[in-house]
Amino acid sequence: MVDEALSAGAVARRLGVAVTTLRTWHQRYGLGPSEHIPGHHRRYTPSDLVRLEIMRRLTAEGVSPAEAARWARQAPDPTANGTVTPARVHPTGRDGGGTIPVGRAGPAARGLARAAMRLDAAAISETIAHALAADGVVATWDSLLRPVLAGIGERHAATSGLIEVEHLMSRCVSEALAAASRAKVPTGPARILLSCADEEQHTLPLEALAAALAEAGVSYRMLGARVPVAALVEAVNRTGPAAVVLWSHTRATADPAQLSALLAAPRRPLLVLAAGPGWRADTLPAGVVRPVDLAEAVSLSAAVRDALHQSGRD
Ligand code: B12
């Protein structure tokens, strides 16, 4: 441990904060160096560093230092050799304690985050349905749902907790997006195929895309989660889509061979979109397009549908 332990100066440089800030975090919030060798200055261990990194990230997002410190202290010890004890001890109250950071998102997102912490499904659903009706799918996704989902992910990464919040929230988001999709079923042939990569379970962004396409009057087919590549190619060959959107949320599911298989399919789509943060730009086969957000995925899909329509091929 001694070898790995760091001085306050070294930790400050790594985190990009002043040494005085570290001192304040130590004195006020107990996030100090835990390695003590008699006769030497105290040193920061890798576990201390993990806690301080959480503290830095959350305070940068606007979470109060006291609140950030509470989450930081709960972080599992990464050096505990398989015996990580996730912080499931929630400090206070019905909402399980703590908050979900939503960055600069507005009051609706804060309200949604609080409802999620309380596991208040009715309030979650009501907030999302209201936003969808008032602002449409893309704005609701970008300004309300994404910040809260990302905040839940952030908290989960810091504490290993909130799995129940993540599941309830996912369920409510799915239901609301499905209801929005059902409310405006587009007519015309479904020329856009939406699919998750093999073993990919993160479907919500694709569900948002489906609802946004429905809202824009673009027909689609949704294959959903965990689609093996052979099944994806089979669906392409049977339905001849103009565009395929393949979602990967994590590196683990982002095998570019899936994209190559689409490009090599007998009924090769005009457009193959590699969507989601899992894909690495430098590993994508030539000819694959990577949309940066929901709005771009919608406009690219609509453009391909329109091009097909104008050429009289649909
Ligand atoms: C909800 C959720 C789940 C739900 C999914 C439910 C569902 N039906 O989708 C469940 C519980 C199933 C789940 C499971 C898992 N999850 Co999860 N999950 C999440 C969470 C909280 C939100 C996912 C989401 O919808 N994100 C959408 C938005 C919020 O993502 P974003 O980054 O802002 O979006 C970017 C781009 O995607 C783009 N964009 C945004 N929207 C759109 C839309 C379109 C159409 C396009 C083109 C682009 C685009 O713009 C953004 C800018 O970068 C994330 C946290 C997170 N930050 O994403 C973790 C997260 C993705 N999950 C994570 C993990 C580890 C898992 C599990 C492995 C956990 C486990 N141990 O079992 C499994 C994975 C299973 C699998 N093989 O797929 C990690 C991934 C870490 C990594 N990078 O590898 C995350 C980041 C949480 C974390 N911080 O640890 N998860």
Give 81-109 pLDDT, tens digit per residue: 433 333 333 333 344 557 899 998 989 99
Query: How much is the average pLDDT of 46-62?
Result: 82
Task: Specify the higher pLDDT residue, 114 or 40.
Answer: 114
The closest alpha carbon to 182, from 155, 154, 159, 207, belongs to 207
Task: Specify the higher pLDDT residue, 70 or 105.
Answer: 105
Q: Which pLDDT score is estimated for 240?
A: 94
CB atoms within 10 A of CB 92: 9
Phi and psi, residue 186, nearest 5°: -70, 155
Q: Kindly report, residue by residue over 191-243, the tens digit of the pLDDT.
A: 999 999 999 999 999 999 999 999 999 999 999 999 999 999 999 999 999 99
3-state secondary structure of 45: coil
Residue 108 CA to residue 128 CA, distance in Å, equals 9
Q: How far is the CA of 223 from the centre of ligand 1 (A)?
A: 18
Atom of ligand 1 nearest to the CA of 154: 89
Q: Kindly report, residue by residue over 289-305, the tens digit of the pLDDT.
A: 999 999 999 999 999 98
Atom of ligand 1 nearest to the CA of 146: 29
Task: Specify the higher pLDDT residue, 223 or 309.
Answer: 223
Q: How far is the CA of 21 from the centre of ligand 1 (A)?
A: 32
Q: How far is the CA of 85 from the centre of ligand 1 (A)?
A: 23
Q: Which of 38-42, 51-55, 166-170 has the weakest average pLDDT?
A: 38-42
Q: Which pLDDT score is estimated for 186?
A: 85
Q: How far is the CA of 306 from the centre of ligand 1 (A)?
A: 31
Confidence of residue 74 (pLDDT cuts 50, 70, 90): confident
The closest alpha carbon to 146, from 101, 213, 178, belongs to 101
Probe residue for ligand 1, chosen from 61, 201, 203 as the CB with the greatest number of ligand atoms within 8 Å: 201
- Is pLDDT above 50 for 2? no
Query: How much is the average pLDDT of 39-63?
Result: 82
Q: How far is the CA of 257 from the centre of ligand 1 (A)?
A: 21
Probe residue for ligand 1, chosen from 84, 175, 250 as the CB with the greatest number of ligand atoms within 8 Å: 250
- Is pLDDT above 60 for 261? yes
Q: How far is the CA of 249 from the centre of ligand 1 (A)?
A: 6
Q: Which pLDDT score is estimated for 82?
A: 39
Q: With contact defined as beta carbons under 8 Å apart, do 9 and 18 qualify? A: no
- Is pLDDT above 80 for 255? yes
Task: Specify the higher pLDDT residue, 38 or 178.
Answer: 178
Q: What is the pTM of this model?
A: 0.78
Q: How far is the CA of 202 from the centre of ligand 1 (A)?
A: 6
Q: Which of 49-53, 60-64, 156-160 has the weakest average pLDDT?
A: 60-64
Q: Which pLDDT score is estimated for 78?
A: 60
Instruction: Give every CB contact of residue 295 below 8 A, 6+ residues apart in sequence.
Output: 138, 142
Task: Specify the higher pLDDT residue, 16 or 100.
Answer: 100
Percent of the chain with pLDDT over 70: 90
Give residue for tokens 């086969």.
285
Probe residue for ligand 1, chosen from 104, 202, 284 as the CB with the greatest number of ligand atoms within 8 Å: 202
Ligand 1 pocket, CB under 6 A:
146, 149-150, 152-153, 156-157, 166-167, 170, 174, 199-205, 208-209, 249-250, 253, 275-277, 291, 293-294, 297
Query: How much is the average pLDDT of 158-182?
Result: 95
Q: Which of 60-74, 143-157, 277-291 has the weakest average pLDDT?
A: 60-74
Query: How much is the average pLDDT of 61-71?
Result: 79
- Name the DSSP letter for residue 274: E
3-state secondary structure of 310: helix
Query: How much is the average pLDDT of 259-281?
Result: 96
